[in-house]
Structure 1
Amino acid sequence: RDLLNNIAREFRQMAQAEDLRLDFVPCSAVVESDSQLLARILRNFLTNAIRYTRSGRILLGCRREGEDIWLQVWDTGPGIPEDKLTEIFQEFKRIRPSGAPADKGLGLGLAIVDKIARMLGHEVRVSSVEGKGSVFSVRVPLGRLQPSRPVVTAPLALPGDGLDGARVWVIDNDRAICQGMQTLLEGWSCQVVTAVSLTDLERQLVIETSPVDLILADYHLDNDENGVDVVDAINRRRRTPAPVLMITANYSNELKQQIRDLGYLLMNKPVKPLKLRSVLHHVVHNRR
Structure 2
Amino acid sequence: MDLGAEPPHIEPATEQERALAEENARLRRICGALIERVESAGMGGGAPYGAFEHAVLLAEQVRERTDSLHRTLEALEEARAEAEAANHSKTRFLAAVSHDLLQPLNAARLFASALEDQALPEDAGRQVGHIGRSLKDVEALLGTLVDISRLDAGVLTPDVAVFPVAELLDVLAEEYRQLAGARGLDLHYVPSGMVVSSDLALLARVVRNFLTNALRYTEHGRLLLGCRRRHDGLEILVGDTGPGIDAAQQQAIFLEFRRAVASPEDGDRGLGLGLAIVDRIATMLEHPLNLVSRPGQGALFSIRVPYGRPRDLPVAEAPPGPIDIAGMRVWVLDDDPAILEGMTALLDGWGCRVRCVATPAALEATSRRERADLLLVDYHLAPGDPDGICVAERLCRRHPELGVVVITANHDGELKQRARERGFDYLLKPVKPLRLRLLIANRREANGA
The answer on 1:115 being equivalent to 2:265 is no
Of Structure 1 and Structure 2, the greater helix share is in 2
Q: Is the 8 A contact 1:23 1:60 kept in 2?
A: yes
Aligned to 1:60: 225
Report Cα offsets for 1:130-151 as digits up to 9, x if no partner.
1111111000111211257789
- Report the alpha carbon displacement of residue 121 of structure 1 after superposing the two structures with TM: 1.3
Q: Is the 8 A contact 1:44 1:113 kept in 2?
A: yes
* Alignment partners' CA distance in 1, 2:332 and 2:285: 27
The answer on 1:137 being equivalent to 2:334 is no
Aligned to 1:84: 249
Of residues 216, 240, 259, the one that matches 1:75 is: 240
* Alignment partners' CA distance in 2, 1:30 and 1:128: 28
Report Cα offsets for 1:67-113 as digits up to 9, x if no partner.
3111000000111222211121222x232625833746562211111
The answer on 1:47 being equivalent to 2:212 is yes
* Alignment partners' CA distance in 2, 1:100 and 1:68: 34
Aligned to 2:258: 94
Q: 1:25 corresponds to which letter in structure 2?
A: V
- Report the alpha carbon displacement of residue 273 of structure 1 after superposing the two structures with TM: 2.3
- Residue identity over aligned pairs, in percent, reads 42
Q: Is the 8 A contact 2:332 2:340 kept in 1?
A: no
- Report the alpha carbon displacement of residue 56 of structure 1 after superposing the two structures with TM: 0.3
Aligned to 1:171: none
Query: Which secondary structure does the structure 1 equivalent of 2:207 belong to?
Result: helix
* Alignment partners' CA distance in 2, 1:149 and 1:265: 30
* Alignment partners' CA distance in 1, 2:315 and 2:195: 21
Query: Which secondary structure does the structure 2 equivalent of 1:60 belong to?
Result: strand
* Alignment partners' CA distance in 2, 1:24 and 1:265: 46
Q: Is the 8 A contact 1:62 1:71 kept in 2?
A: yes
* Alignment partners' CA distance in 1, 2:413 and 2:167: 30
Of residues 289, 293, 312, the one that matches 1:124 is: 289
Q: 2:231 corresponds to which letter in structure 1?
A: G
Structure 2 CA distance for partners of 1:99 and 1:5, relative to 1, 3 Å: closer
- Report the alpha carbon displacement of residue 245 of structure 1 after superposing the two structures with TM: 5.7
Q: Is the 8 A contact 2:253 2:260 kept in 1?
A: no
Query: Which secondary structure does the structure 2 equivalent of 1:23 belong to?
Result: strand
* Alignment partners' CA distance in 2, 1:56 and 1:62: 20
Q: Is the 8 A contact 1:3 1:39 kept in 2?
A: yes
Q: 1:273 corresponds to which letter in structure 2?
A: L
Report Cα offsets for 1:196-254 as digits up to 9, x if no partner.
xxxxxxxxxxxx985489xxxxxxxxxxxxxxxxxxxxxxxxxx99x9969xxxxxxxx
Q: Aligned pair count?
A: 191
* Alignment partners' CA distance in 2, 1:71 and 1:2: 13
Structure 2 CA distance for partners of 1:112 and 1:10, relative to 1, 3 Å: same
Q: 1:131 corresponds to which letter in structure 2?
A: G
Q: 2:233 corresponds to which letter in structure 1?
A: D
Query: Which secondary structure does the structure 2 equivalent of 1:11 belong to?
Result: helix
- Report the alpha carbon displacement of residue 53 of structure 1 after superposing the two structures with TM: 0.2
* Alignment partners' CA distance in 2, 1:29 and 1:150: 16
Structure 2 CA distance for partners of 1:66 and 1:56, relative to 1, 3 Å: same
- TM-score of the superposition, structure 2-length normalised? 0.36
Q: Which moved more, 1:14-23 or 1:141-150?
A: 141-150
* Alignment partners' CA distance in 2, 1:76 and 1:167: 47
Structure 2 CA distance for partners of 1:148 and 1:7, relative to 1, 3 Å: closer
* Alignment partners' CA distance in 1, 2:183 and 2:222: 10
Q: 1:4 corresponds to which letter in structure 2?
A: L
Aligned to 1:272: 414
- Report the alpha carbon displacement of residue 271 of structure 1 after superposing the two structures with TM: 8.0
Q: 1:28 corresponds to which letter in structure 2?
A: G
- Report the alpha carbon displacement of residue 263 of structure 1 after superposing the two structures with TM: 4.1
The answer on 1:14 being equivalent to 2:179 is yes
- TM-score of the superposition, structure 1-length normalised? 0.53
Of Structure 1 and Structure 2, the greater strand share is in 1
- Unmatched segments (≥5 aa) in structure 2: 1-165, 317-329, 342-357, 360-377, 388-411, 425-449
Q: CA RMSD in A?
A: 4.2
Q: Is the 8 A contact 1:122 1:138 kept in 2?
A: yes
Structure 2 CA distance for partners of 1:76 and 1:277, relative to 1, 3 Å: same
Structure 2 CA distance for partners of 1:244 and 1:106, relative to 1, 3 Å: closer
Q: 2:250 corresponds to which letter in structure 1?
A: L
Q: 1:139 corresponds to which letter in structure 2?
A: R
